[in-house]
Structure 1
């Protein structure tokens, strides 16, 4: 069957370039050996289309980070090239993202002055080098599972907070006003204060660009909207002499290859804490985007390998002027929708960035800053998704609160600190869930052997006089054993049953402290209340633990059952004999 499927794939896609299973492994990335001739044309088209989106956005993200605009080109070149050669995702596009850019801005703001470009670039190289090194060390320690430690609601709140911060940060460029940047509320007040100084020509340029981008995203979603906006902005500067009306432009952009930029070891002590946060977000965004756009039949991105490939992409980019990099959801979506089939599309995009550096850099200098701000705002506003907050609220109010806490953490205490808030909230949420596992009172669905939690939706479910059926759920260990014990005592005290049947089928682990608590509880309710405890549905590990402790001796085989149906049948038989 597998041979037939492979044959059909070869007919559709063409044979792989390396076909012999017994051939010597060639010293190049494995995807090249598995490449199919039929993928070449769609990969080239997708790579060029992706370049039309990635390059203008990378320029914009460099300005978010407070770096010279050409850093965006370097980031679309070197990290993209390295990841395309080493990454496990076929379509993940690695340059930089809005989230990473704003985090970089916050990190660099504390160690370098915006008026000292050389110091700023050195600090960026040091930060990017640290991010790469952290990701590589994480790979050596096999820490890929860390991607699962930020819950989805918290990540949604965090990204929404980032979106708000970015939009507020870019509004001054749309208005043509200038002031000393600060925290979110400081910036909002400063914008209001500086509104009388607005450059209406700049506002007009920004408004036209936003309308153009939104219209193209709405009606021509496959078109390279950022490229069209950039081209239109440059053309407007040429045709209408916009700088004469107060419209600021990007200014000089150096032509040529990226310069060698070594890191400064003296900055390491100041930059490693934010580098940890940036590395976490880079990896989280990369693995999420890679998994989201992996198609059936393609290899799923492997977390530990992604740590290595994105780490090397950052480490290599650091020495050639690139800022911190990671996979982006929007650009990866463009790659997939444009027909990208393999990592070759990323190589094409990287080469297009190189061509832009060598040939088109002078034109980029003519671009209005309002155009870049419009690109940033249009694509950053997508981070704020009220519908996702409504969906969370509809499902679970508690997790909605966690999302809001993450959002407020970013907006109020800052972006880097917001990562810490997001992680703390996620871990607190996990600890809360684990510390308070549910304990259900069961009933039997009439005419079946199905036992389910009692509720007002199923009033006809059967119960049995003198028998209380309970089902705890989750792992029971030292942190929640006391809470589970309290719930059991309250549930037993009210109906005063003769027999309590504890269904442990949903308990996958029973730690020693919890087992001791249950042993003491069994003895206490038996001696003081005359209540007998039965156990049901123990998995093999839990059953072995129970048999090795005093509880197993007290219960014996007569009070442990394979399932609830057997326990109920035994209870009914005993009652009939009584």
Structure 2
């Protein structure tokens, strides 16, 4: 029976955290959930407008996916609704499939897209594909998010200024915004700029106060008390009161939406696992990628039938949830309950909110995606990876957000291919008076080298894609030093592929023809097993050309000279 209970706890995370729930957690969970709701709900309303959807979709996204994830997810502080990245990706997909922007069509298309995203995430979890999120490298992800931030700011700027024009590509929108600035609505600009300044000031001077909630309250008060509608300030409009109604996806749209759904699912999982890991305490379970895929997938599937848009874990809202005191998934259930109350009681008031207020919220929190410091840090470490980040940014801006994901993945894979195809081969020397062998450099001019002995250390996996590059570097080093013996220190080589082994065998024969002996040193068990299965390896063993370490090889070489 105890074994069955343990299996149940492992299968249902909700039983796990409820079974270990402590009474002292309750206060922190309630405060964390309330505080997160004050931030998440206004932002979700704003993010729904990014996707071109009615604002109530944002409420439904806080209500349904968040509640489902709280029951199924493994991360205790993770707050799941929508994010700027997911909203812009969803909006791009919806615009391609439902260009008419009819609200009814958009809701059905959004439900279909969200269902597809959930199905892809769930299937990926069942197939244990959690490692796929690692296909986007950190520099490329930095660039991708920066591109998303720039696109969102440009998309929302006309709403902040009260401008109206037909949307197009990035440069079209940039030029149209610049050209139409003289036609900006001054009252709308005042509302938008004031909201931006309020949000920035509160983030800096009163970080514990939920700035988005205050901004929304400010916008509603200004609209009602000052009659801003009479001055041309547009509002959100009618927001239906009550629970979300059942929304059935349209199967005929699956073929058109699945490519977009794959990209959105990838970003949803990437953001979810990153946020979950970032805010997990040392005494808490580490989020499990494959279970997170299933939990987030089912949250999206459930949300799809109740009007929610694509959802995932958000870094900002998770940070607010954790810092406000959240100790378990109960905090997310409190946030979802607040969203439910808003649906039932506060929807009419939301309809009075100025569009400029929502645009200001989106812009302030989207600018955070653009991290110049991260670009500088990457540039300081490696210029090549900085270029990858820039390419990812340009891909999003010039090709679109969905295509930008493809660019990001391709750039990451090309970056990986570049790194593994051209590994370094170090010429080694020995630190005087020690047994430390290190790459030669101008910083260590006194390191010992041994006449007639060339010590080389390749790094990484040696296989068909990089064996030729390594061979070229080795040949250049041999020509430069004219040794009698070449030693390969393989302690930094974790794998030797068959093609590379055959090239090593050929190199051994060529060197012997020129009177040069090849020695192998410091092989790992797997590499040594590979070598010893070959005729070359057996011959080397018989001829005493295999050594455990460089110190042993050098001692043997010096003994030969004596």
TM-score normalised by length of structure 1? 0.95
The superposition leaves residues 442-486 of structure 1 with CA deviations (integer Å, 9 ceiling, x where unpaired) of 011111100011111111111011100000000011111111111
Q: What corresponds to 1:388 in structure 2?
A: 374
Does structure 1 residue 158 correspond to structure 2 residue 158?
A: no
Match of 1:194 in 2: 180
SS at match of 1:324: coil
CA drift at 1:197: 1.3
Contact 2:452–2:483, Cα closer than 8 Å, also in 1: yes
**Structure 2 residue corresponding to 1:555, chosen from 536, 540, 544:** 540
Alignment partner of 1:311 is 2:272 = no
Q: Deviations over 1:279-318 (max 9, x none)?
A: 0000000000100111111111010000000000100000
Alignment of 1:122-133 (within 5 A): 122-133=108-119
Aligned to 2:516: 531
Query: Matched residues in 2 for 1:34 and 1:61: separation?
Result: 35
1:338 is aligned, of 324, 328, 332, to 324
3-state secondary structure, aligned to 1:458: coil
- How far did 1:80 drift? 0.4
Matches within 5 A, 1:25-64: 25=8, 29-64=15-50
Corresponding position of 2:224: 238
Partner of 1:440: 426
Aligned mates of 1:392, 1:556 — CA distance in 2: 45
Q: Partner of 1:501: helix, strand, or coil?
A: strand
Q: Give matches, 1:102-113, under 5 Å.
A: 102-113=88-99
Task: For residue 114 of structure 1, report the CA deviation from its aligned partner.
Answer: 4.9
Give a deviation string over 1:180-207, Cα, whole Å, max 9, x none.
1111111011111211211000000011
2:263 pairs with 1:277: yes
- Given that 1:66 and 1:114 are in contact with CA atoms closer than 8 Å, whether structure 2 keeps it comes out as no
* Aligned 8 A contact 1:500 1:534 in 2: yes
Matches within 5 A, 1:332-371: 332-371=318-357
Alignment equivalent of 2:531, drawn from 530, 546, 554: 546
Residue 115 of structure 1 deviates from its aligned partner by: 3.9
The residue aligned with 1:5 is none
Corresponding position of 1:16: none
Give the Å deviation of 1:507.
0.5
User: How big is the shift at 1:113?
Assistant: 3.6
C-alpha contact (below 8 Å) 1:249/1:367 kept by paired residues: yes
User: Which residue matches 1:229?
Assistant: 215
CA–CA distance in structure 2, aligned partners of residues 561 and 390 of structure 1:
44
Q: Secondary structure at the match of 1:452?
A: strand
CA shift for structure 1 position 364: 0.3
CA distance in 2, matches of 1:147, 1:222: 32
The DSSP-based 3-state class of the residue aligned with 1:502 is: strand
Report deviation, 1:547: 1.4
Q: String of CA shifts for 1:149-190, please: whole Å, max 9, x gaps.
A: 110000000000000000000000111011111111110111
SS, match of residue 383 in structure 1 = coil
- Kindly indicate whether residue 142 of structure 2 is the aligned counterpart of residue 146 of structure 1: no
Decide whether the 8 Å contact of 1:51 with 1:352 is kept in 2.
yes
Shift of 1:29: 3.2
Give me the whole-angstrom Cα distance separating, in 1, the residues matched to 2:179 and 2:255.
37
Q: 1:104 to 1:552 in 2, by over 3 A?
A: same
Match of 1:469 in 2: 455
Secondary structure in 2 matching 1:29 = helix
> Which whole-Å CA distance do the structure 2 matches of 1:121 and 1:23 have between them?
42
Q: CA RMSD in A?
A: 1.2
| Distance change (3 Å), C-alpha of 1:314 and 1:23 | closer
1:324 maps onto 2:310 in alignment:
yes
1:517-559 Cα deviation digits (max 9, x unpaired) = 00110010111x2111111001111112211102113312511
Deviates most, 27-36 or 543-552: 27-36
Residues 65, 22 of structure 1: CA spacing in aligned structure 2 closer, same or farther, 3 A cutoff? closer
Q: How many residues align?
A: 556
Structure 1: tracts of 5 or more residues without a match: 1-19
SS at match of 2:280: coil
Structure 2 unpaired stretches of 5+: none
| Alignment match of 2:80 (pick from 83, 86, 94) | 94
Counterparts of 2:417 and 2:44, CA distance in 1: 39
1:446-457 map, 5 Å: 446-457=432-443
Residue 22 to residue 517, structure 1, CA distance change in 2 (3 Å) = closer
DSSP-derived class of the 1:556 partner: helix
Q: Does the 8 Å CA contact 2:95/2:101 hold for their aligned counterparts?
A: no
The answer to whether the 8 A contact 1:29-1:86 is kept is no
- Separation of aligned partners in 2, 1:116 and 1:318: 18
CA offset at residue 21 of structure 1?
8.7
